[in-house]
Each structure stands twice: as C-alpha cells, then as structure tokens.
Amino acid sequence: MSESLDTEVKTNPQGDPITSVAAAPKAEVKKDPHAEAKKQRVVTPEYMFFEAPRTKEFITGSEAAKEAVRRANVDLSIAYPITPQSETMQLIGVLYGEGYVKEYYRGEEEYGVMSAIAGASRAGVRCFTATAGPGTLRGIEPIASWPGHRLPAVCMFTCRVVNAPLAIQPDNIEVSYLLNCGMIVFHAENQQDMFDFIMKGFIISEMNDVTLPVGVCCDGFFVTHARGYVHMQEKGIKLPPREAWRGAVPVLDAENPPARLSRDAPVQKSNFMAYNIHAVWQQEVWAAVERSRKYINKFMGGLCSAENMENADAVIIAAGSAAAQSREAVRLCADKGIKVGLIKVRSLRPFPTEELRQLCKNTKLIVIPEFNYVGWLAREVATAIYGHSKAKIIAGPHVYGGQSMPVELIVDEVESGLTGKKSTNVALSAIMGTDVDQGAVSHFMQNI
C-alpha cells in the first residue's frame, strides 16, 4: 500500500510523445500549470527568426508544429481527432493545458471546425488548426471562403489519400484542391520546415496588405510521424500578438464599422454591379496573394531555393518530401558523374514563376517527382516557364496511395531523360517538350 503511494510519476516516458498535461508530483505544493507560459516574453519576428539562439532537438513533425505554436502566441485552436489526423492537434491541447494557447476545444468535425476558425479569426484572435486528407475536403467549403472573407489564420495540412477506396496513407493530391482557394500555400519538406513555416506563416498571414489565411502542407507520416532534427529557439520567447486593427478588412468586434462584404446584400443579387463587386473582390484576394511575395522573401528566404545549379545537366524541381528524396537522387547522380541541380519549391501560392523562369532559362531537362497521381506541381512548373525555357519536362516519377519514393526512380528519370531511353515509370504523354507518339502512349498505358 505504502509502496504504491510512493510510485514515481512518469510525466514524459522516453520515446513517447507527451499526450497529456504533465501532472505535478504529489508531494509538491500546488503549482500553477500556466507558470511557464506566463513567463514567456514577446520578441520581434526579426529577432525570433534570425537572431535568437537555437538548440537542436530530434522530434516528429507533429512535435515541431506544437513547438512552433508554443512560440507563436496563438490565442485559439480547435481540434478534430480523425479523418485522419496526426498527433498535432492533441499536442496543441497540451499547450492549452499549459497556458500557451488560451482557448481550445475538440470540434464536431472539420466543417464545424473550419467554420469556427472563421468565426474566431473574425473576432480578431490568432487561430491555428490542422487537418488531413478527407478532413481537408470535408472542411474545404469554409476553408475556400477564408480568403474571400480576408481571415488570417494558419492551417496545417498533413496530406493523406483522399480518393476512394478510403485509406489513410500519405499522398499529397489534396494540395491541388487548396491551390485555387486564394490562400497562401507553403509545402514543408521536413520537421524543420514545419516548425519555421508555421511561425512565419502567422506573421505573413497578418500583414496588412496580405490579410489572408496560410496553409502549411506537408506529406503525412513522412514528416508528421517521423523524427528529424529541428533547430528551435528557447521556449521562453514568443511572437508579438495579433493586432486585430491591423487587418485589411475590419474584424467583427463591434468596435469598428463592419466590413461591407458582410452587409452588402447587393453582392448576392443578379445584376451587373453585383457581378462587378464580386469580381473586384476576387481580384483583390489574388492581388493580396501576390503582395505576400515580399514577406516570403524576407522571412523565408525566397519562394524556392536552388542547390547545385551551376552547369547542371538536368534540374529536379520538387516540393515537400519529394524534395528530400530528390536531394539524395542528386547525390546518387553525382556518383554516376551526372551533375543535377535541385530547386525546392517552398511556396506554391504565390508560385515562384519569375524565379523558375530565371533558374530554368538554359536548362535542358527538368524532372518533377511527386507524391500524387495527377502531377499538380508539373502543371504549375510547365505553366510558369512556358515560352521561357526549352527544357524537356518529365512529369514524374509519381507515387501515390501511400507508396514511398525510391530515390532510384528519380535517378532513372534523369538518366532516361538525358539519354532519350524510354522510361519504364513515366508515360510518354507525361513528358512535355518532345514529340509524342500516341501509339507508344497507349501501349504504355495498356501495359503498366
């Protein structure tokens, strides 16, 4: 009996993510669970991102998101457990228990969650949530309306399969749905990106001439569940709070005259003025996406990064986990004596159109590996550089439905692209910039 009373309380078992609020040891006097959070001090975004000393930790992507939110001065967060989630939102619950997040609840499902995020952002507070795969599509009606309502917030998308049959595996096809919402969309390669993009996302989202939601995507499992090194600032500092008056559209707090879009019934009507008002509003949303470029350049070091580009025989363009695999492919190619450059796209909206035109001006071959069937990144790249580059573009290799991407697949495409040998993985129809023999395409499609 006395033994069990003295049992040590394990608050953070080695190797397990913390999934509950750390219980105070029994003997101690009652400690304020919010004590540490209250001690946090506000620093400027510039100090937080560029000057604050960082230490390295080996954590999962979900934990990286949690640590980003801890330092981001988030007011409100709403969680939903499945369809299918990562651990991220329950870890945010831990932050709520510890006082780092002021308001938090478990919502009914994603439509309700994303609607409530819209309400909270209108109230003028800083909001965070996360979802994945079918959950993204379940919530996409409200998500697609956030930009039009000019609601700053950060939503993390830990991409999963959305197609039938129902599955929970990694596959980033949902990004293609998000690209046309009018929101800013980043794609994180690893845990470090996850940590940085979320924090920087809040600052960019709330800039007056932006005032838009930011989606931070990553490939589910590969980033959320796997561990990687993340360089983080100390826990004792946080970003400045959201200043509600700063937005391009007034918040609905009855302290400011309300935004006209909430009041104008004429926008709903069927006449020329109504169409015109709506058209102008859409133009303004996308103009705001454009205006975010300067902040992405400032805080994230550019919409894309380029490595190993000088005198490269071929260039791989990739985003998310495909960028990590591509980096290894670049190394394998170097071993074979092929010099391959790598462009990692960090921001999908806005898209680095000018940057790619410059970088690919003299490129002969572009390979675009992706974790989805449809190849949304290849379409984006081809549209961006059309008329500015004579490169042959290989829209592949593609893996989907949970498949991982062997690095050799990418190397094969680089080699066959350079030699003209027929690819075993990418249909001829997915190779842009060459003559396509329709007979060969149909033969390929019948035999895959």
Shortest distance in whole angstroms from residue 143 CB to other proteins: 10
Dihedrals phi, psi of 288, to nearest 5 degrees? -65, -35
Shortest distance in whole angstroms from residue 108 CB to other proteins: 4
Binding to other proteins by residue 40, rule CB under 8 A?
no
Count other Cβ atoms within 10 Å, centred on residue 409.
21
Shortest distance in whole angstroms from residue 114 CB to other proteins: 8
Applying CB under 8 A, among 79, 89, 92, 118 the residue interacting with other proteins is 118
Binding to other proteins by residue 108, rule CB under 8 A?
yes
DSSP lists the bridge partners of residue 42 as 238
Which of 54, 263 has the CB closer to other proteins? 263
Tokens of 392: 């042959």
Shortest distance in whole angstroms from residue 105 CB to other proteins: 7
Closest CA to 210 of 240, 181, 247: 247
Amino acid symbol at 90: Q
Shortest distance in whole angstroms from residue 400 CB to other proteins: 30
Binding to other proteins by residue 111, rule CB under 8 A?
yes
Which of 140, 184 has the CB closer to other proteins? 140
Q: Quote the CA–CA distance of 67 and 397 in Å, as a whole number.
A: 34
DSSP letter string, 341-409? EEEEE-EEES--HHHHHHHTTT-SEEE--BSSSS-HHHHHHHHHHTTT---EEE---B--TT----HHH
Q: 263 to each of 93, 147, 161, 248, 266, how far by Cα in Å?
A: 36, 17, 39, 17, 9
Binding to other proteins by residue 99, rule CB under 8 A?
no
Which of 114, 405 has the CB closer to other proteins? 114
Stretch of residues binding other proteins (CB under 8 A), selected from 17-25, 119-127, 306-314, 374-382 = 119-127
Q: Quote the CA–CA distance of 292 and 287 in Å, as a whole number.
A: 9
Which of 32, 243 has the CB closer to other proteins? 243
Shortest distance in whole angstroms from residue 349 CB to other proteins: 21
Q: Quote the CA–CA distance of 140 and 146 in Å, as a whole number.
A: 10
Binding to other proteins by residue 98, rule CB under 8 A?
no
Binding to other proteins by residue 159, rule CB under 8 A?
no
Which of 249, 405 has the CB closer to other proteins? 249
Binding to other proteins by residue 404, rule CB under 8 A?
no
**CB-count burial class (<10 Å; 0-12, 13-18, 19+) for 438:** exposed
Residues touching other proteins, count (CB under 8 A): 42
Applying CB under 8 A, among 61, 124, 135, 215 the residue interacting with other proteins is 124
Q: Quote the CA–CA distance of 299 and 210 in Å, as a whole number.
A: 14
Stretch of residues binding other proteins (CB under 8 A), selected from 113-121, 221-229, 278-286, 288-296 = 113-121
Binding to other proteins by residue 113, rule CB under 8 A?
yes
Bond prior to 134 in cis (omega within 30° of 0)? no
Applying CB under 8 A, among 94, 125, 330, 340 the residue interacting with other proteins is 125
Evaluate whether 211 touches 247 at the Cβ level (below 8 Å): yes
Helix, strand and coil content of the chain, in percent to the nearest 5, comes to: 40, 15, 45
Binding to other proteins by residue 116, rule CB under 8 A?
yes
Binding to other proteins by residue 244, rule CB under 8 A?
yes
Binding to other proteins by residue 119, rule CB under 8 A?
yes
Closest CA to 145 of 169, 166, 163, 119: 119
Shortest distance in whole angstroms from residue 257 CB to other proteins: 5
Evaluate whether 198 touches 232 at the Cβ level (below 8 Å): no
Binding to other proteins by residue 256, rule CB under 8 A?
yes
Question: What residues make contact with other proteins under the rule CB under 8 A?
Answer: 75-76, 78, 102-103, 105, 107-109, 111-125, 127, 141-142, 145, 149, 244, 252-258, 262-265, 268
